[in-house]
Structure 1
């Protein structure tokens, strides 16, 4: 009883202080937040930041998240002791973790748009974000272990840096969006320069047990200049510009990739079954439409056995792409020779099939003429094929074009084969490693 009263009194004191703090001018409040920045360029070697990919790492992340959400009133306690949502089950979601001395002490998830959308998009308007082009990812499920919450950002800042580097170099993301409690939005605004979405706040956010929420976004293309302007002249440990853009943390372990994919799916059939069937009721609680969408994503036989049954499969028939577990961004070029003159156009290839590919180009491409497409599939993989533009849509300075192939080469067939049969980023990395050319 005494502990309960003390805890209640402490919460009341925090609420009172927060209310008093809110009366100060916005510029003053932001300056106070920035004064707390303490980013160590050489963290303790026991700290490791990586993608959560093993059963043990994922379970530790889900448990840490559960306890943080329950403690904040964002969810009711679950018998499993974990918070594992349908978004965690998707191949387009990546869960990052911070481990200290082998123990998971911090986590956050990056949710890329899929047929399930984003958790926040049912509440907040993303029109203005989408108008700026570029991929969008929602930052969600952030939690830090209680023993590290009062240590000056020992875990939080490295985790934020990991998020920034992963999004800008591996996840092909331009815009980050968040939905956070109103009491916390100013931290994101003052430190990272998130801007509030059109619908500034909601009284009840269903994804967080009806808690109030504020939506905000950050354009990662313009963020570096803002960081430089605000932090550029600050001391090193308070300089988030140097920390995010000029500092290398050896603690960060980026995923190895054989090909230029931009997703890192880790959910095997066994992991899906364990987290979303055995330990939680996540799959069981989906409606028929959501179950159908899940089947459209995981359309390999080994996955079908662990997915919830769909009773009217014809309702959910959608065009299947066997490689939809993977998003790709492969640099390439398309060269066409006419009247003895050769024109070369830069491409970014985003989709592959047996007999064609989809690419975008900043320059309008000639159609219905054969040319040579050279595509860098990975750091050590290159394909050169005879191809023709058969459809295109160019607006302003950007266009998408569909190509058909005259014939694929061996490197091309290897990639398409593994996209069809691979399930995790590790499969993609290893599947062709020992094939003979």
Structure 2
């Protein structure tokens, strides 16, 4: 076998430079990373960033991801030419894509917590992050087309900005989680100030073909202050604080929502069947427990026909389905006319006869109250409620409520959520509710 000595020398030079760089003081290394920032506030109109929703867009994302992971040694080549995980099958996962002249050249996925948990929780302890307020989401499946990897972040930075805006304004996320190769972790620490979940590198991360990994988290609520402090004197193309928090990129196509929901699922039964039965063995290779969990998530008949078979008695469906939302509202105790007995709440989960909400105030339990909940821009529901559980999810400020008698607006809202599992279903249904 002929050896390419040029390739060998290039590899040795790269290893030598990396070793020399790692010997520099930490602050110096971080300053070097920041010197490479190039975030163009006016990218070309040829660039469009959106949610991947069609079969063609999703397939292009999964193919790009496959090639990037194979090149990096994070997975073995798959006959399908795609990297598709079970997390991509969930309605709580959103895949974002960057398109240049209509071709997908970048992708990243945001995974909200579900019955399947997070990929990285298999090896990283998340208890410290869970003790903090706010919901978690894992950033995963990042890939940029080889043609754009040496262009100063022309795709990477817009993709990360899209992820930031989507996570903070649409995905109801406060803490981002990542698991990355040890060679990449300092980039996330120096540029965005991720904090490591564990002190030691995980030597065998099954989700990336046994490659080593470091876990880290970022508090999106605290990040802007840190970014402003570090980047305030930088030039516009190196100021990540202004880029993430102030710059408006017309290239971003953010989802249109009539209601204040927090997910944008796109997988129809046909798409699930195509990616997880026809092109891959994603469903067939699941263990029995995960097959049951899938049936509890996709509980409509059209979905059951493409899901892996399980004994019907093993499928446990909630009596009242719950849906993730982000709806502002107010509570007024029926027993009082005092202004002080009005409380601002944030409804985070709804069902037909109940909801879960967060409030900064302490609420009395088992006292009937009137709740005014803004379900959408023009839909306001007023219902009688009873706070029946404090410290929902183990945290102060979270309460479980029973709805006495849902009004028509509340019933229509929940009915729409029950009738479809994609954001397109929701949009079509709500056109007829006004």
* Short-chain TM bin: over 0.9
Are the equivalent residues in 1 in contact too, given 2:327–2:376 (CA < 8 A)? yes
Name 1:103's counterpart in structure 2: 103
Change (3 A) 1:95 1:321: farther
Give the drift of 1:375.
0.3
Name 1:258's counterpart in structure 2: 258
CA–CA distance in 2 between the matches of 1:54 and 1:403?
Answer: 38
Which blocks of at least 5 consecutive residues in structure 2 are unaligned?
Answer: none
Which blocks of at least 5 consecutive residues in structure 1 are unaligned?
Answer: none
Are the equivalent residues in 2 in contact too, given 1:388–1:404 (CA < 8 A)? yes
Name 1:379's counterpart in structure 2: 377
CA deviation vs aligned residue, 1:288-336 (integer Å, no higher than 9, x gap)? 111111111111111111111114x44453535534xx42111000112
CA–CA distance in 2 between the matches of 1:141 and 1:276?
Answer: 17
CA deviation vs aligned residue, 1:200-222 (integer Å, no higher than 9, x gap)? 31111111111111111111111
TM-score normalised by the chain length of structure 2:
0.95
Name 1:388's counterpart in structure 2: 386
Are the equivalent residues in 1 in contact too, given 2:299–2:317 (CA < 8 A)? no
The 5 A counterparts of 1:130-209 are: 130-209=130-209
Of 15-24 and 164-173, more deviation after overlay is shown by 15-24
Name 1:429's counterpart in structure 2: 427
CA–CA distance in 2 between the matches of 1:175 and 1:106?
Answer: 23
Give the drift of 1:366.
2.7
Change (3 A) 1:277 1:320: farther
Name 1:359's counterpart in structure 2: 357
Are the equivalent residues in 2 in contact too, given 1:109–1:140 (CA < 8 A)? yes
Give the drift of 1:7.
4.2
Aligned length: 433
After superposing on structure 2, the runs of 4+ consecutive aligned residues of structure 1 that deviate more than 6 Å are: 394-397
CA–CA distance in 2 between the matches of 1:315 and 1:4?
Answer: 57
CA–CA distance in 2 between the matches of 1:65 and 1:5?
Answer: 30
SS of residue paired to 1:417: helix
Are the equivalent residues in 2 in contact too, given 1:289–1:316 (CA < 8 A)? no
Give the drift of 1:395.
11
Are the equivalent residues in 2 in contact too, given 1:336–1:372 (CA < 8 A)? yes
1:335 aligns with 2:320: no
CA deviation vs aligned residue, 1:72-102 (integer Å, no higher than 9, x gap)? 1111111110000001111111111000110
Change (3 A) 1:71 1:340: closer
CA deviation vs aligned residue, 1:363-409 (integer Å, no higher than 9, x gap)? 12233333321000011211112223233338999323233333222
Name 1:348's counterpart in structure 2: 346
Of 229-238 and 384-393, more deviation after overlay is shown by 384-393
Are the equivalent residues in 2 in contact too, given 1:180–1:213 (CA < 8 A)? yes
Give the drift of 1:6.
4.5
Say what the alpha-carbon RMSD is for the aligned residues: 2.0
CA–CA distance in 1 between the matches of 2:13 and 2:315?
Answer: 52
SS of residue paired to 1:133: coil
Are the equivalent residues in 1 in contact too, given 2:334–2:370 (CA < 8 A)? no
CA–CA distance in 2 between the matches of 1:340 and 1:96?
Answer: 48
Change (3 A) 1:395 1:96: closer
SS of residue paired to 1:338: coil
CA–CA distance in 2 between the matches of 1:208 and 1:350?
Answer: 33
CA deviation vs aligned residue, 1:243-282 (integer Å, no higher than 9, x gap)? 0111111101100111111111111110000001100111
Change (3 A) 1:167 1:33: same
